[in-house]
């Protein structure tokens, strides 16, 4: 088990006093058998009324409503979690899905249908041609091995580039540029996996990255990756930005069929146009809690 403290501070400075409209916040990690919440605080200035819900994907979403005008919005989230995903390769794929290609069981296929459809392709022929370089029809290969190959291929061909702009590149844009953010690499993986017939979804969260030699801030960062549903194993995470499968250093906050569905903070305001935003994130590993 590993313990992490995650601090996420978001600040908006406006050009004058504005009326803040409701904001949705996806800052609380997804809890389950692999991740347990130890503590959580969420503070906003100006003060807001918070209402929590689970969205259609089971993500924890807070809606903040404000009753006062403000020239600045500060959102401070701090959580301490216990992460138990220490053996990401310890799983079994159902016999019928070990070898690629395979068909999802009927009862799963209905639920997974939205995750197999890729609506973002501008030029499907470009994506298909690239996917054909990853796997050619008739090649004998296990399903998990194919996904590892896809993950590694993106890691080798797409150079990480930090982007502050909103949105993501299309798969075709990322292939043409050969560069992209973690969001862009994850979306290329999604598009390719769906082209191959897999059910895949987008994941936003945090990455603990203590090695300063890597492309990420050693203090930790927001991050994005992809998950594929493998019968028998469930949703398995793949991180094409660093060329590995998802493990204890990845902390999932929200999952969705499309990346634009799960921004950490989303909202609007009435007032003079113009606002600047700054974000600070840290992910710190803590000592294991003493046994009571």
> pLDDT for 240-263, tens place per residue?
999 999 999 999 999 999 999 999
- Using CB atoms within 10 Å of the CB of residue 121, give its burial: 0 to 12 exposed, 13 to 18 middle, 19+ buried: middle
The domain of 151 spans 95-247
In a domain, 269, yes or no: yes
Q: State yes or no: pLDDT of 224 exceeds 60.
A: yes
**Do 99 and 241 have their domain in common?**
yes
- The CATH number linked to 63 is 2.60.40.2250
User: Could you tell me the CA-to-CA distances from 145 to 17, 84, 156 in Å, in that order?
Assistant: 55, 24, 16
pLDDT classification of 163: cutoffs 50, 70, 90 = confident
Our separate counts of H helices and E strands in the chain read 5, 18
**Do 14 and 131 have their domain in common?**
no
In a domain, 222, yes or no: yes
**Do 128 and 271 have their domain in common?**
no
**Do 107 and 62 have their domain in common?**
no
Does the pTM surpass 0.85? The reply is: yes
Torsion of Cα atoms, 138 then 195 then 207 then 64, to 10° = -160
- The CATH number linked to 129 is 3.10.620.30
**Do 62 and 16 have their domain in common?**
yes
pLDDT, one tens digit per residue, over 168-186 is 999 999 999 999 999 999 9
In a domain, 154, yes or no: yes
């Amino acid at each position: 088990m590993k313990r992490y403290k995650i601090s996420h501070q978001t600040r908006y400075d406006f050009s004058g006093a504005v009326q803040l409209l409701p904001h949705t916040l996806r800052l609380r990690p997804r809890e389950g058998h692999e991740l347990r919440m130890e503590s959580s605080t969420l503070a906003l200035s100006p003060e807001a009324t918070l209402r929590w819900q689970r969205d259609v994907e089971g993500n924890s979403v807070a809606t903040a409503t404000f009753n006062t005008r403000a020239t600045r919005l500060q959102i401070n989230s701090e959580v301490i979690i216990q992460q138990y995903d220490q053996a990401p390769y310890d799983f079994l794929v159902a016999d019928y899905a070990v070898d690629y290609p395979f068909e999802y069981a009927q009862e799963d296929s209905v639920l997974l249908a939205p995750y197999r459809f890729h609506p973002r392709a501008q030029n499907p022929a470009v994506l298909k041609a690239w996917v054909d370089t990853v796997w050619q029809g008739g090649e004998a290969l296990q399903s998990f091995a194919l996904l590892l190959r896809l993950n590694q291929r993106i890691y080798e061909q797409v150079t990480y580039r930090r982007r502050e702009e909103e949105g993501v590149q299309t798969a075709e844009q990322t292939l043409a540029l050969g560069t992209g953010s973690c969001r862009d690499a994850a979306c290329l993986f999604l598009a390719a996996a769906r082209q191959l017939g897999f059910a895949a979804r987008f994941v936003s969260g945090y990455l603990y990255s203590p090695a300063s030699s890597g492309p990420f801030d050693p203090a930790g960062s927001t991050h994005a990756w992809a998950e594929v549903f493998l019968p028998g194993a469930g949703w398995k995470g793949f991180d094409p930005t660093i060329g590995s499968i998802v493990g204890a250093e990845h902390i999932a906050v929200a999952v969705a069929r499309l990346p634009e569905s799960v921004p950490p903070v989303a909202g609007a305001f009435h007032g003079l146009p113009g606002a600047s935003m700054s974000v600070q994130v840290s992910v710190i590993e803590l000592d294991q809690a003493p046994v009571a």
